Chain A
């Protein structure tokens, strides 16, 4: 039972990568907007795309963790 919990926790660690990725994307977008406020719209949609794609990894990790708990946690 403890091992299942550890496995789920390891799967959720993917969130760290997504967090770092979204952080970098947002930092750069803030910099870009500060440098060129008139390009705000384009920068925002580009940032959103990057954030969404980075976030997908975290979601996969979460789904896998959920599956581990549900399937093996009995």
Chain B
């Protein structure tokens, strides 16, 4: 038990990757450094994939178009035609979370295992939802939305502003950390090639599902916020 709690504590801690030697040293945590790696990889991928595009798609362009079309259809389905201008940011969320959940496969620490990252993502998502509602409905209607279905619901609606990002960030963090801890335990208990199928489930399937769920919830709440 002593060992386990120490190990868990160690997993929960966010190690500092390196320190920037200005202003007395700015510590850069692992999650931030890995995020930079993800940014570099995604930028490189987008340059490579969009290089030399043709009217009739071929090879890699086909794959790219399938992916983008799938995401566009998925978000437009939930958001309706008004949501078209919010597609890029939602897809960015999806790509970033997907990459950061799956990067554990390559031996990096997934950034979403750091609760600061998930809270930041959830807060950004809920600000996005409110801004979208404000822009689509106009200030008066947006403010009125807090009084629906009846004025007595005002405190509940205000509370929802806090509980939604809380539950969204906790869901992502808990899932990623849970998968991480279970995988560590399995690796301790049964060494050799046996953890591979578990890794398939916990690392790939669960990570992909959580990326999907996060943006799905965001787009659902957004659809609710922008509907007339």
CB within 8 Å of B: which residues of A?
1, 4-5, 41, 45, 48-49, 52, 55-56, 59-60, 62-63, 66, 69-70, 73-74
Contacts and interface: CB of A to CB of B under 8 A. Distances in A.
A74 B2 CA distance: 6
Contacts, number: 49
30 contacts: A1-B1, A4-B1, A45-B77, A45-B78, A45-B216, A49-B216, A49-B220, A52-B213, A52-B216, A55-B171, A56-B171, A59-B170, A59-B171, A59-B174, A59-B175, A59-B178, A62-B174, A62-B178, A63-B170, A63-B173, A66-B8, A66-B177, A69-B4, A70-B5, A70-B9, A70-B12, A73-B2, A73-B5, A74-B2, A74-B5
B8 A70 contact: yes
A56 B167 contact: yes
Contact of A69 (B8, B167, B213): B8
A21 to B, nearest CB: 15
Contacts of B120: none
Nearest to B213: A52
Contacts of A69: 4-5, 8
Contacts of B4: 69, 73
B200 interface: no
A6 B78 CA distance: 43
A49 to B, nearest CB: 7
Interface residues of B, number: 22
Interface of B: 1-2, 4-5, 8-9, 12, 77-78, 167, 170-171, 173-175, 177-178, 181, 213, 216-217, 220
Given A66-B177, A73-B1, A74-B2, A48 B171 contact: no
Question: Nearest 6 pairs between A and B by C-beta?
Answer: A73-B5, A59-B174, A63-B174, A69-B5, A52-B213, A70-B9
Contacts of A48: 213, 216
A48 B217 CA distance: 10
Contacts of A59: 170-171, 174-175, 178
A33 B33 CA distance: 45
Contacts of B171: 52, 55-56, 59
A60 B213 contact: no
Contacts of A1: 1
* Most chain B CB inside 10 Å of its own CB: which residue of A45, A48, A70: A70
A33 B175 CA distance: 28
Nearest to B219: A45
Contacts of A62: 174, 178
A63 B8 CA distance: 12
A62 B121 CA distance: 21
